[in-house]
């Protein structure tokens, strides 16, 4: 074992020496844009004649403790979903829904009936044929409360029922018009499982042994240790966008959970793994400059990393105070510190790769003078002994409950220090994640933070529609508690129309309105950072979430 390890390092050294000798840098086929920001749908390190065989060793971050894509929200499913399962829809390079297991579809004029024509000859790995009934059973499994679906179910919440027209035609009825329906069907969490497995096992059993129709089959799962996948013989229904057919090239994929950043980075460069789905941002530069690796930094669709105000209570129910706080925060300085040069500053309330992202939207910038002026205007004119502003004897202080599993993010301290200079006190409460979650749904905080990744601009509905404000009867993700009739109306209209020009106009208006309402401070466009050895070829960039897709990846002998 150790001898082999040493040999590998020697081979690596030899390769390095060769490269240095030739003066070649190792140019990657990373598609348009800079070398580190490959386009969605691009095939990375695709040169060479494909060979079959080999096991890919992949390191991931944390075990979701359940592998049923419908039952988890863990972002490993962005990668696992496309290893184990197939979807009805696959997005193309421009983010438009394209065929996959659904060959075509029709949408009724009222936007509430979707008729899918399904691909024939597809089977799940337990032999069950893929048909209209399978699709129906999957939708119902996602929505069944016993599945405990945190994402798949909620993403198809408007689903009402299905009518099976024939074995390969299904008519899906929605309770309301919901234009993001096709987009969300392309997400890893909505991969399709064998209806036989769904019907014959409990949700808990399905967590351990989900059965899909994908290019690989689950062959082993040891919790907190790893997962093994083996190539599915006879697989021949990859999304047409991959422009390849037939079985996977790899014999299998061996996944290990490596939670510590430093360990994950070193075990990758040390040759213990050939790919990782999670490059720590602080190690990105080292990987970028390492000619033995291909490094990818792909922007995600959805809500940027955003610091959010609780607009439902004082002091952030006051627009001037929100604007003042935002003006006191030096976002570029924070992005430089947090991102290690790997993140771009946000320019709107959606990441710049989101469909209908509006580049014309202008977020208010860093302006301490304006911040002071706005706070004076809001009546916070006097200061106490600590230098914080007061009004009627009350200090301008806000509560920020935060939790961090490993190291505490410097963002909390940076913001605390920055807004202190205009006289706002931020009390950071470091709590266990369970308590932060509880406070979040109870609305008991002044500041919160987060990201939301999806593959549609409907993320704005999830984050900013009044409907999404959590209350005693409904959970929801509108953590800024923003309630604006105009925003609500536009977001509803965007859900009701499938006309792209109208959607573009509506989502643009929403972004401009949010920039005025300041429900939060978008900080940086979040991106997925991943890397793999140059010995691994033809890794695609998933069009939904920018993650690596290994369907036709192959390993040099």
Strand pairing category for 554-555 and 536-537: antiparallel
CB of 190 to other proteins, least distance (A): 14
Residue 10 makes contact with other proteins by CB under 8 A: no
Q: Which stretch binds other proteins (CB under 8 A): 71-79, 240-248, 326-334, 352-360?
A: 71-79
Q: Report d(CA 302, CA 350) in Å as an integer.
A: 5
Q: Which of 106, 108, 219, 260 binds other proteins (CB under 8 A)?
A: 260
Q: Report d(CA 261, CA 327) in Å as an integer.
A: 33
| CA angle (461, 464, 469) in 5-degree steps | 100
CB of 157 to other proteins, least distance (A): 7
Residue 430 makes contact with other proteins by CB under 8 A: no
Q: Report d(CA 122, CA 24) in Å as an integer.
A: 45
Enumerate residues 347-376 that contact other proteins by CB under 8 A: none
Enumerate residues 289-348 that contact other proteins by CB under 8 A: none
Size of the site for other proteins (CB under 8 A): 55
Please, which residue, 203 or 423, has the CB nearer to other proteins? 203
Q: Which of 238, 462, 529, 531 binds other proteins (CB under 8 A)?
A: 462
Q: Which stretch binds other proteins (CB under 8 A): 34-42, 221-229, 281-289, 314-322?
A: 221-229
Please, which residue, 49 or 434, has the CB nearer to other proteins? 434
Residue 266 makes contact with other proteins by CB under 8 A: yes
Residue 259 makes contact with other proteins by CB under 8 A: yes
Q: Report d(CA 90, CA 81) in Å as an integer.
A: 12
Give 549's DSSP letter.
E
Which helix (DSSP H) or strand (DSSP E) does residue 230 occupy?
strand 226-231
Please, which residue, 1 or 501, has the CB nearer to other proteins? 1
Q: Which of 190, 201, 188, 193 is nearest to 218 (CA)?
A: 193
Q: Which residue has the tokens 């979650």?
A: 437
Residue 5 makes contact with other proteins by CB under 8 A: yes
Q: Which of 434, 485, 501, 557 binds other proteins (CB under 8 A)?
A: 434
Please, which residue, 101 or 298, has the CB nearer to other proteins? 298
Q: Which residue has the tokens 């047409």?
A: 240
Q: Report d(CA 500, CA 526) in Å as an integer.
A: 25
Q: Which of 197, 202, 201 is nearest to 217 (CA)?
A: 197
- Note whether 482 and 513 are within 8 A (CB): no
Q: Report d(CA 245, CA 190) in Å as an integer.
A: 22
CB of 355 to other proteins, least distance (A): 20
Residue 443 makes contact with other proteins by CB under 8 A: no
Which helix (DSSP H) or strand (DSSP E) does residue 453 occupy?
strand 447-453
Enumerate residues 473-532 that contact other proteins by CB under 8 A: 473-477
Residue 208 makes contact with other proteins by CB under 8 A: yes
Residue 4 makes contact with other proteins by CB under 8 A: no
Q: Mention every residue, 6+ apart, whose C-beta is less than 8 A from residue 13.
A: none
CB of 545 to other proteins, least distance (A): 12
| CA angle (539, 197, 193) in 5-degree steps | 35
**In the complex, which residues of this chain contact other proteins (CB under 8 A)?**
1-2, 5-6, 9, 65-66, 73-75, 145-146, 148-151, 153-154, 157, 203-204, 207-208, 222-225, 256-260, 262-263, 266-267, 270, 272, 405, 432-435, 437-438, 441, 450, 452-453, 462, 473-477
């Amino acid at each position: 074992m150790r001898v082999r390890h040493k040999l590998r390092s020697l081979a690596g050294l030899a390769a390095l020496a060769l490269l240095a000798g030739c003066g070649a840098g190792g140019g990657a086929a990373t598609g348009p844009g800079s070398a580190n920001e490959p386009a969605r749908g691009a095939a990375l390190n695709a040169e060479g004649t494909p060979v079959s065989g080999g096991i890919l060793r992949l390191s991931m971050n944390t075990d979701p403790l359940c592998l049923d894509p419908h039952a988890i929200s863990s972002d490993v499913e962005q990668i696992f979903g496309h290893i184990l399962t197939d979807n009805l829809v696959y997005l193309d390079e421009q983010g438009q829904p394209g065929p996959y297991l659904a060959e075509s579809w029709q949408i009724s004029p009222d936007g509430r009936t979707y008729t899918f024509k399904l691909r024939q000859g597809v089977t799940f790995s337990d032999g069950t044929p893929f048909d209209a009934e399978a699709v129906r059973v999957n939708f119902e499994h996602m929505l069944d409360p016993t599945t405990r679906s945190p994402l798949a179910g909620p993403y198809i919440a408007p689903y009402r029922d299905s009518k099976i027209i024939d074995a390969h035609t299904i008519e899906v009825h929605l309770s309301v018009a919901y234009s993001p329906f096709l987009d969300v069907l392309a997400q890893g969490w909505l991969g399709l499982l064998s209806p036989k497995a769904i019907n014959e096992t409990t949700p808990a059993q399905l967590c351990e042994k989900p059965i899909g129709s994908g290019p690989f089959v689950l062959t082993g799962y040891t919790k907190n240790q790893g997962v093994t996948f083996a190539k599915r013989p006879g697989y021949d229904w990859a999304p047409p966008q991959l422009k390849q057919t037939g079985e996977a090239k790899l014999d299998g994929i061996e996944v290990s959970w490596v939670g510590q950043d430093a360990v994950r980075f070193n075990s990758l460069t040390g040759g213990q793994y050939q790919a990782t789905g999670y490059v720590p941002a602080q190690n990105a530069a080292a990987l970028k400059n390492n000619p033995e690796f291909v490094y990818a930094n792909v922007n995600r669709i959805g809500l940027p990393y955003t610091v959010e105000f609780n607009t439902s209570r004082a002091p952030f129910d006051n627009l001037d105070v929100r604007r003042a706080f935002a003006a006191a925060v030096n976002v570029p300085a924070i992005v430089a510190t947090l991102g290690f040069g790997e993140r771009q500053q946000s320019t709107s309330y959606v990441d710049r790769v989101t469909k209908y992202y509006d580049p014309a939207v202008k977020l208010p910038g860093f302006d301490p003078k304006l911040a002071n002026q706005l706070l004076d205007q809001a009546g916070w004119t006097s200061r106490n002994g600590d230098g914080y502003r007061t009004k009627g004897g009350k200090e301008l202080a806000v509560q920020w409950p935060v939790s961090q599993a490993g190291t505490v993010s410097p963002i909390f301290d940076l913001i605390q220090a920055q807004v202190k200079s205009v006289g706002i006190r931020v009390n950071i409460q470091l709590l266990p994640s369970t308590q932060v979650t509880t406070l979040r749904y109870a609305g008991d905080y002044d500041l919160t933070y987060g990201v939301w990744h999806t593959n549609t601009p409907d993320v704005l509905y999830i984050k900013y529609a009044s409907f999404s404000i959590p209350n005693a009867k409904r959970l929801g993700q509108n953590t800024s508690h923003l309630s604006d009739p105009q925003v609500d109306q536009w977001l509803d209209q965007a859900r009701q129309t499938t006309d792209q020009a109208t959607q573009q106009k509506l989502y643009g208006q929403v972004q401009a309105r949010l920039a005025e309402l300041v429900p939060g401070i978008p900080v940086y466009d979040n991106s997925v950072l991943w890397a793999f050895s140059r010995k691994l070829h033809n890794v695609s960039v998933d069009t939904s979430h920018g993650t690596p897709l290994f369907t036709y990846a192959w390993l040099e002998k």
